[in-house]
Amino acid sequence: MSEVAVSEARNRLAEVIEESRRSGEPISVTRRGRRVAVIIDSDAFDRLVEIADDVEDRRELEAARAEDDYVPWDDVKAMLGLE
């Protein structure tokens, strides 16, 4: 992952964004050597959000199953008259 200082990112923001978009790699923005932000292509960000949502959905499903607090899909279809 590439790094760029906050001051440099401020001065060449459009170039840094384009570099991340073109390479598909995130770019760390640092202040005093510590990462404070990450610039990432919007498509990559969308994929990460989708993956995180899927993981959260699976976690919630597992919790519901553990508590026996769910309705099986076949029962839902039957209730809705979709069978």
In tens, the pLDDT along 36-75 reads 999 999 999 999 999 999 999 999 988 888 888 778 889 9
Alpha-carbon span 74 to 83, nearest angstrom: 8
5-12: average pLDDT:
96
Alpha-carbon span 70 to 83, nearest angstrom: 19
- Please provide the CATH number assigned to the domain covering 2-40: 3.40.1620.10
Model-level pTM?
0.67
Instruction: Give the pLDDT score at 28.
Output: 97
Contacts of 17 by beta carbon, 8 Å cutoff, 6+ apart:
39
Alpha-carbon span 28 to 61, nearest angstrom: 34
Average predicted confidence (pLDDT) for the chain: 93
pLDDT interval class at 21 (50, 70, 90)? very high
